[in-house]
Structure 1
């Protein structure tokens, strides 16, 4: 296939002339099966550009076309768009179709787990995120598994996996979630310790100030509680409607 054909397809996609682009793709593939990889690459790059532009509907059209050419990646990419659009059931369905075609990567199970977490189905989230961790132990997989256990209020396992994530890469959000897990166990000393580590890494992180203040409030240290509450409200006005007395 000549480079000019590739350029024309890319231009048509960028102009959102999808019918013309898809017709051209079909005609090329009838006579040149070797063009498949190049066409898939163009569809994916153009789809990612639409996602960056927050045009998920256009990205969705491109990945549906990709499914007809390369279903493993097509279903995976369509699932990512669905996840971004908070269409979690569609995301789960498309990710699972990708696994049916042989995608058994750590990422596919991570994203299935994330979609289940969005649905607050923590049991299924944990099943799939455990698969992800069993394939690859990295920061994101450990962190998201910790989140699933935190959502299920299984604080011991949440601490276990947040700690693993934190050992790989110290991150202010992971430190904050460790604080929440210890707060859930009424272990106030450890909760304060991790909330403090979180704000030390990110001094503008309102959530950690708020929940450290809540922890101080629980142990009757109202002076420190009010200092943290004021700081949290300065950083995020939404906390003005959530005084500790309401808990």
Structure 2
């Protein structure tokens, strides 16, 4: 008899998060679609249920301590363990406004808005920490839990330093660099306890985050995330990957 596997995806009501939710559900997971907006979250979960998948909306605002704690309590009352956590929720305030007519980012670090930067870090950096810490008891109750931090190519310092054509998006990019460091920190702690923690770079994907200017589809983007969320025993931990393999930090 196969035990039901449970997964949680944050920012799951649209884009890469929604597709990741669909793909994990297609693999047999019961997926909890974390979203802060009730109307959008419920609509996304209902749509996937109508496709035949076992998906349920979970109210979750990753920027709120209270919301994250309440979500962990809600989930803990319904399941005994969590097998996969995908920290996908992310924002890039001001990014679209800074895109020029040719699609290039035109706001240099010297003109970065500190308020936007703080909001970005609250979701993209502190959010995954809040969520991972809150759901850790459920993850530890799984025999082989996996945690995926959805990062970005822009989080790679080596790529940014070695490529003058790489977009110089200080706020969003540095938030993903910090997330990469957080990935390694959690991996070091949790590896002895059987949990693999890795960062995924889904690529420049057409989503609301970039006004759908990205060149990749959400179907392409979700591939590496799902791969890392379903790693077999003996797989990597504390790594940073795209679909072609390890990336430079």
State TM-score, norm by structure 1: 0.29
**Greater per-residue helix proportion:** 1
**Greater per-residue strand proportion:** 2
**Structure with the larger RCO, 1 or 2 (CA within 8 Å, 6+ apart):** 2
